[in-house]
Amino acid sequence: MISKASAPGKVILFGEHFVVYGIKAILCAIDKRVTVTAEKIPENKIIIKSNIGELEVSLNKSMNEISSPLKPFVYLANKMIKKYNQSEGIKIYVKSEIPSGVGLGSSSACCVAGAAAISKLFEKTSKEKILELAIEAERTIFQNTSGADCTVCTFGGLMEYDKEKGFSQIKSEPNFHLVIANSNIEHSTEVVVSNVKQFKEKNEEKFSIMCQKELELVNRVKIMLKNNDLQGLGKCMKDNQKFLEIIGISNEKLRKMIEKAENSSFGAKITGAGGGGCIIALSDESNLEKIISELKMNDYECFSVKIDFKGLDTF
Ligand SMILES: Nc1ncnc2c1ncn2[C@@H]1O[C@H](COP(=O)(O)OP(=O)(O)O)[C@@H](O)[C@H]1O
Ligand SMILES: C[C@@](O)(CCOP(=O)(O)O)CC(=O)O
């Protein structure tokens, strides 16, 4: 038996970093996907093949002994094998359209699609249960994940998230394109978050004013998303980027990419942790090609996406 599932990546549209201090963030699923295929095999092994590497482990290997980035898949396979007392193994293939490690949710998309494909070999289950399993799997590599990324990858569309109230789906279906440009600078979310903490501790008053302004901005954004107000959203992106510059998560390359993208888009900003990773620029059909060619002319790697409203898909 073979089962297959796919899940989208994500971007943070507004609110990264401030979300750590209780402000709302807005995330959206993007139409770039990870597809996972799983099949039961007679050997007593878990075999994983992906574009980022391959791994073969025996069924009795303990999770603590595994340091591979493919660990979440081992966790998922082991969990289902144990639950159903199965003596055979599982083979897993991962195909991804999402660059890894640049804030576009590749790890969450892997965990969500992996949880769905692997559990479907054994049982029929709900999206909610798959999400729970995916978050557990992601915790094997990122202990402190909030679960926000896995949630948006499971349900698709737009979502607001804050630490206190958790997640809620935003029902609006705005019609825009995002151009994503990749700085190809690796970053560690943990390190950047800790740098921002230091900035906050040295600038408590300034930081608290920015948090207040960011909250007002996110509340305005929710209305603009409902009205598909791209001019307004672009202006908010520019304003949000000013705060991200102040808290120190930008750098020369990101600034240059944003400057180029801003020439023809409604607005552009860093998405995710910053310090590297990606920027997003808001566009519609009228300016999409122009933004892409301007970025490419300057040798910046970029591609366009739309919001994915489907979320997890199993087939
Ligand atoms: N194509 C892939 N195949 C298998 N695992 C992947 C793949 N892409 C990403 N991952 C997993 O996600 C991790 C990257 O996650 P992370 O650094 O948070 O980046 P992102 O922001 O893209 O989620 C990888 O180390 C690996 O565990
Ligand atoms: C910087 C932060 O707000 C988002 C990090 O986003 P990403 O891992 O780059 O997608 C951290 C967090 O919310 O835990």
Q: Is the pLDDT of residue 145 over 90?
A: no
pLDDT value for 30: 98
103 lines ligand 2 (CB under 6 A): yes
- Do 160 and 231 lie in a common domain? no
282 lines ligand 1 (CB under 6 A): no
pLDDT value for 76: 98
pLDDT value for 189: 87
pLDDT digits (tens, 9 = 90+) for 3-53: 999 999 999 999 999 999 999 999 999 999 999 999 999 999 999 999 999
The residue nearest atom 26 of ligand 1, judged by CA position, is 69
Q: Is the pLDDT of residue 186 over 90?
A: no
Instruction: Give the integer Cα–Cα distance in Å for 136 and 232.
Output: 38
Question: Considering 171, 195, 226, which residue would you say is the last residue of a domain?
Answer: 171
Instruction: Give the integer Cα–Cα distance in Å for 80 and 39.
Output: 12
Instruction: Give the integer Cα–Cα distance in Å for 82 and 101.
Output: 31
Q: Which ligand is nearest to the CA of 192?
A: 2
Query: Quick check: 34 and 95 in contact, CB under 8 A?
Result: yes
Query: Quick check: 199 and 209 in contact, CB under 8 A?
Result: no
Terminal Cα distance for the chain, rounded: 12
247 lines ligand 2 (CB under 6 A): no
Q: List the one residue out of 8, 27, 168, 18 whose CA is nearest residue 96.
A: 8
- Probe target for ligand 2 pocket from 104, 159, 189, 196, with the most ligand atoms within 8 Å of CB: 189
* Residue 149 designated active-site: yes
Question: Considering 146, 171, 196, which residue would you say is the last residue of a domain?
Answer: 171
Q: Which domain holds residue 144?
A: 2-171
> What is the distance in A from the centroid of ligand 1 to the CA of 101?
6
147 lines ligand 2 (CB under 6 A): no
HSE of 148, CA atoms in CB hemisphere, 13 A? 29
Q: Rounded mean pLDDT of 72-85?
A: 96
Instruction: Give the integer Cα–Cα distance in Å for 176 and 128.
Output: 28
- DSSP-based helix, strand, coil % in the chain, nearest 5: 40, 25, 30
Q: CATH code at 73?
A: 3.30.230.10
Query: Quick check: 186 and 275 in contact, CB under 8 A?
Result: no
> What is the distance in A from the centroid of ligand 2 to the CA of 229?
26
Instruction: Give the integer Cα–Cα distance in Å for 97 and 278.
Output: 15
pLDDT value for 179: 98
Please check whether residue 99 lies inside any domain of the structure: yes
Please check whether residue 312 lies inside any domain of the structure: no
Q: Which segments of 163-300 are extended strands (E)?
A: 166-170, 177-182, 267-271, 278-283
Query: What pTM did the predictor assign?
Result: 0.95
Q: Rounded mean pLDDT of 195-214?
A: 98
Which member of 31, 149, 284, 308 is catalytic?
149
Please check whether residue 315 lies inside any domain of the structure: no
- Do 122 and 261 lie in a common domain? no
Strands 158-162 and 25-41: antiparallel
Q: Is the pLDDT of residue 248 over 90?
A: yes
Q: What percent of the chain has pLDDT over 90?
A: 94
101 lines ligand 1 (CB under 6 A): yes
